[in-house]
Chains A and B, each alone.
Chain A
């Protein structure tokens, strides 16, 4: 399961990098077209912006798995390990709640916007929202595994994400 998660995560990162390159390509093409053939593709801003939204939500999920989202560690750092472990488990449950919320409300948003369109591409208006429930599902998966790690408290490399190192447990 964890091996699957690692593979999955590196797959997500590749997609993220691809989005990043695509955005760069689209915007450069836009400038180039405007300066040379004096016009710009009608879809460029809309598509590039949509890619950024997808990228943002993808990154949000990757961040949960890799614990790169900034948090204030100042107060919890001063607590004994047993307290930390309890608090971090609560934190994971809270993030799990967030994941479930964006799966549920993200899907409803996709459904609610199914009839309207985007102004330039005329694509369905739910396109930018599509990544929200997907990212939510990934967050749910990651937090469930994190919770299991915190309860079992044995996988050294994964526990390092919370700053637990050997001597402290």
Chain B
């Protein structure tokens, strides 16, 4: 065996081994990288250098700001208003609260890029409400977690920023525009399946609002939704960079929460910053260490080898794209989103580009694919959060989750094989 193959085995074998014994993912990435560098006698300074490089990018600076604004909105009453607004629109349908859940997630997706944040701020309001109105708990959790995945696809999304950076500068504006249609499409698909189940299980309709109430709710929630508008308009017109728009959004959310809604005191900012700090500690560590891991993979030419292997199996574009989706779904079952974007992008982007897929389209396909991973066992952060909010076991949630998986996979295939679903809006804007 050559030293390169031993190094590859060390790197990948140790990585999966450490994951199994509960070493945090960030360190399960970094430790094998250090050991491989020592084995190959490469100055291991390069590993620390790459960890720093990984988070040393002005574009990635958008992530802290998005997370802070998400936290402000979650704690400060913007998300509860979005739920009411959704209720005004779709509450009176059969299975009304399920529809509200999906639509609220579409709105929330427009201000946060985090599926976990969506489930943890919409779930505690809607899951108990649904239970009270006679919905089964498993269904309430299913709808909540499945629809939360929209937040990653509907712009803005910090995961798209990570992708844009690792993909070598795919335009963030284009990615944001490309996510709109698929996000709405996914929402409609989820509403269809939720409605079908609601009819079958005979869930109730909502009660509706008077015109006056409806107007008040709309007016108030629009202030919150403005955050999304600021970011998307700012980024796609080029007035602001993604980082700048994220900063402005955070300031806007701060302003709306503390000077207009005034539901929480300004002293809560300490709590908001502390919670953001915890989320960020996790995300930034993952980005740093997976950059080092990705460097080592590139050094060992693993991406090239995988590309050549995949292309040698079959020349069929359809087959290659299906295989790639399958690989990502399987990896998504055991790994979290940010490290997978960082590791899979350099490996798979060259393959899909050779198969004729646009990097922007691949970005969105990747987002949905890994988003599905957030609600699949054994490792699915959104699934865990949803189950704990609903107070039911993962096994029970899983039993009725199948129709939602199927719906999402159909959406995934549509995004993979119909380029215009993603590329239509960016092209309309001519960028």
**Chain A facing B: main interface SS:** helix
Contact in complex: B68, A20 (CB < 8 Å)? yes
Closest residue on chain A to residue B270 by CB atoms: A17
* Interface residues of B, Cβ cutoff 8 Å to A: 18-28, 30-31, 34, 44-45, 47-49, 51-52, 55-58, 60-61, 64-65, 68, 240, 243-244, 247-248, 250-251, 270, 273-274, 276-278, 280-282, 284-288, 334, 336, 377-379, 381
Cross-interface CB contact of A63 among B56, B282, B377, cutoff 8 Å: B282
Question: CA of A98 to CA of B273 in the docked complex: distance in angstroms?
Answer: 28
A108 interface contact, C-beta 8 A: yes
Cross-interface CB contact of B27 among A62, A66, A94, A105, cutoff 8 Å: A94
Which A residues lie within 8 Å of B19 (CB)?
71-72
Closest residue on chain A to residue B234 by CB atoms: A31
Question: CA of A68 to CA of B24 in the docked complex: distance in angstroms?
Answer: 9
Which A residues lie within 8 Å of B273 (CB)?
17, 20-21
Question: CA of A23 to CA of B28 in the docked complex: distance in angstroms?
Answer: 29
Contact in complex: B285, A63 (CB < 8 Å)? yes
Interface residues on A, range: 35 or more
- Known contacts: A94-B23, A95-B23. The answer to whether A69 contacts B282 by CB under 8 A is yes
A75 interface contact, C-beta 8 A: yes
Contact in complex: B48, A69 (CB < 8 Å)? no
Closest residue on chain A to residue B240 by CB atoms: A31
Contact in complex: B30, A98 (CB < 8 Å)? yes
Cross-interface CB contact of B20 among A31, A72, A95, cutoff 8 Å: A72
Chain A to chain B contacts (Cβ below 8 Å), 28 pairs: A17-B270, A17-B277, A23-B65, A27-B247, A48-B61, A52-B55, A53-B56, A56-B280, A56-B287, A56-B288, A59-B277, A59-B281, A59-B284, A60-B284, A62-B277, A62-B281, A63-B281, A68-B278, A68-B281, A68-B282, A69-B24, A69-B26, A70-B336, A71-B25, A74-B378, A94-B23, A101-B48, A102-B48
Contact in complex: B21, A128 (CB < 8 Å)? no
Listed from nearest, the 9 A-B pairs whose CB atoms lie closest are: A59-B281, A69-B24, A56-B284, A74-B378, A27-B247, A63-B281, A60-B285, A56-B55, A71-B24
Contact in complex: A27, B281 (CB < 8 Å)? no
Which B residues lie within 8 Å of A148 (CB)?
none
- Known contacts: A23-B61, A72-B19. The answer to whether A128 contacts B277 by CB under 8 A is no
Contact in complex: B52, A91 (CB < 8 Å)? no
Which B residues lie within 8 Å of A58 (CB)?
281
A7 interface contact, C-beta 8 A: no
Cross-interface CB contact of B47 among A13, A45, A105, cutoff 8 Å: A105
How distant is B22 from chain A, measured CB to nearest CB, in Å?
4
